[in-house]
Structure 1
Amino acid sequence: MEHVKPIINEDGILEKYKPSFYDGELPRVEDTPYACPLDRYGDLVYLKATLSSDPSAGECTVMLIHQPYAQLSFARVGDAHWNWLQMHSFYADCIHHDGCFYAMTEVGAIDEFDLNGPSVVHRRILPNLVGMVQKCYIVLAPWGDFLQIIKEESLDPEQPDGETYVTAYEVYKVDFVELKRVKMRGIGEHALFTGKSTTSCFSVKNHPGLMENHLYFTHDDHEELLSGKDDPRDIGVYDLENDTRTNLVDPEPWRTWFPPIWFTPNLAKADAMCACTQGVSTSASTSVVTASS
Structure 2
Amino acid sequence: MEAPVPDWSGLPADILISVFQLLECPDLLRSAAVCTFWQKAYSMFRRSGVCPSQQTPCLLYCTEAAGAKALGMYSLSERKSYSMPLPEPPISNWIGSSHGWIVTMDEKSDLMLLNPITGDKITLPPVTTMEHVKPIVNDDGVLEKYKMSFYDGELPRVEDTPYACPLDRYGDLVYLKAILSSDPSAGECTVMLIHQPYAQLSFAKVGDAHWNWLQMHSFYADCIHHDGCFYAMTAAGAIDVFDLNGSSVVHRRILPNLVRMLEKCYIVQAPWGDVLQIIKEESLDPEQPDGETYVTAYEVYKVDFVELKRVKMRGIGEYALFTGKSTTSCFSLKDHPGLMANHLYFTHDDHDELLSGKDDPRDIGVYDLENDTRTNLVDPEPWRTWFPPIWCTPNLAKAGFPDDNGEAQ
Task: Using structure 1 for the length normalisation, give the TM-score.
Answer: 0.78
How far did 1:127 drift? 2.6
Residue 154 of structure 1 and its aligned partner are, at CA, apart by 4.1
1:71 positional shift: 0.5
Aligned residues: 272
Matches for 1:44-83 after TM superposition, within 5 Å: 44-56=173-185, 58-83=187-212
Give me the CA root mean square deviation.
Answer: 4.3
Shift of 1:35: 2.6
Query: SS of 2:161's equivalent?
Result: coil
Moved more, 246-255 or 112-121: 246-255
CA distance in 1, matches of 2:189, 2:209: 14
Conservation of the 8 A alpha-carbon contact between 2:185 and 2:398: no
Moved more, 92-101 or 152-161: 152-161
Deviations 1:202-252 (A, max 9, x none): 223333332111111111111111111122111222111112223457735
Shift, 1:201, TM fit: 1.7
Q: Does the Cα contact within 8 Å between 1:230 and 1:254 map onto a contact in 2? A: no
1:62–1:248 Cα change, 3 Å: closer
Q: Greater shift after overlay, 223-232 or 255-264? A: 255-264
Q: Structure 1: 5+ residue runs without aligned partners?
A: 271-291
Q: CA deviation at 1:61?
A: 2.6
The answer to whether the Cα contact below 8 Å between 2:318 and 2:332 also exists between their aligned partners in 1 is: yes
Identify the residue that residue 282 of structure 2 maps to in structure 1: 153
Q: Is the 8 A contact 1:132 1:152 kept in 2?
A: no
TM-fit CA distance, 1:92: 1.2
**Partner Cα separation in structure 2 for residue 24 and residue 108 of structure 1:** 20
Change beyond 3 A, Cα 1:55–1:247? closer
1:2 Cα deviation after fit? 0.7
Instruction: Check the 8 A contact 1:60/1:76 in 2, yes or no.
Output: yes
Cα offset, 1:258, TM superposition = 1.7
Displacement after TM superposition at 1:194 (Å): 0.8
Summarize the Cα distance change of 1:188–1:88 in structure 2 as closer, same or farther, 3 Å threshold. Answer: same
User: Looking at both structures, which has the greater relative contact order when contacts are Cα pairs under 8 Å and sequence separation is at least 6?
Assistant: 2
Deviation at 1:174, TM superposition (A): 2.3
Deviation sequence 1:162-219 (CA, Å, 0-9, x none): 7765322111222445543232211111111111221122223333332111111111
Equivalent of 1:139, from 268, 276, 280? 268
**222-231 vs 46-55, which deviates more?**
46-55
- From the superposition, tell whether residues 267 and 146 of structure 1 become closer, same or farther in structure 2 (CA, over 3 Å): closer
Query: Is the CA contact 2:256–2:308 (under 8 Å) kept in the aligned structure 1?
Result: no
Of residues 259-268 and 223-232 in structure 1, the stretch that sits farther from structure 2 once superposed is: 259-268
List alignment gaps of at least 5 residues for structure 2: 1-129, 400-407
CA apart distance, 1:254: 8.3
Contact 1:193-1:216 within 8 A present in 2 as well: yes
Whether the aligned pair in 2 keeps the contact of 1:232 and 1:253 (CA below 8 Å) is no
Displacement of 1:138 in angstroms is 1.1
Change (3 A) 1:158 1:97: same
What's the offset of the Cα at 1:91? 0.8
Shift of 1:72: 0.6
Identity of aligned residues (%): 92
Counterpart Cα distance in 2 of 1:248 and 1:112: 34
Instruction: Out of 225-234 and 257-266, give the one that drifted further.
Output: 257-266
Which segment is superposed worse, 19-28 or 140-149?
Answer: 19-28
| SS at 1:210 equivalent | coil
The 3 A distance-change label for structure 1 pair 212 and 56 is: closer
**Are residues 40 and 159 of structure 1, via their aligned partners in 2, closer, same or farther at CA, if it must alter by over 3 Å?**
closer
TM-score (norm 2): 0.58
Determine if contact 1:114/1:122 at 8 Å carries over to the other structure. Answer: yes
- 1:26 offset after TM fit, Å? 4.2
Deviations 1:128-173 (A, max 9, x none): 3336832111112223322211112345555677776532211122
Distance 1:177 1:227 in 2: 41
More displaced stretch, 70-79 vs 124-133: 124-133
Match of 1:88 among 191, 198, 217: 217
My pick for the range that moved more, 113-122 or 99-108, is 113-122
